[in-house]
Homo-oligomer: A and B are copies of this chain.
């Protein structure tokens, strides 16, 4: 009995140590997801400016940014690991308490990024493309409204 208990405890300690050793650190996860959103900003910035008429419509530039947006659209969410609700983050606790809705908006965003790329690569006109950029911006905002602390 004594040996069994000791073995069990030793096993538990090893398991905990292992869990600690290669669990993702919350700070690293926060830093990571912020970095992905910076990459989004790099791509959304010029597209948003074109959609709003603040920058001339340039199909080639759009195609590049829409492709990069679609290619990276699924990357942020893996950064919302357990424990990363605390730290240098603007995420609301709702990310963790209402994950189903968060995931739904994430899928919606990814779908809209794919949709924009499709439209940019089609023979769609400027007006339609602008509307799709607007819809992608709206997909950002919808999620920010519910899951991100406003900086305003």
Contacts and interface: CB of A to CB of B under 8 A. Distances in A.
A35 interface: yes
A4 to B, nearest CB: 26
Contacts of A79: 42
A75 B22 contact: no
A49 B24 CA distance: 12
Q: How many copies does the complex hold?
A: 2
Contacts of A41: 32
Contacts of A15: none
Contact of A72 (B31, B38, B72): B72
Contacts of A68: 75
A107 interface: no
Contacts of A22: 46, 49, 55-56
Interface in A65-109: 68, 71-72, 75, 79
Contacts of A39: 32, 35-36, 39, 75
Contacts of A32: 38-39, 41-42
Interface string A130-150: 000000000000000000000
Interface of A: 18, 21-22, 28, 31-32, 34-36, 38-39, 41-42, 45-46, 49, 54-56, 68, 71-72, 75, 79
Return the 3 tightest CB-CB contacts between A and B, nearest first.
A35-B38, A35-B35, A32-B42
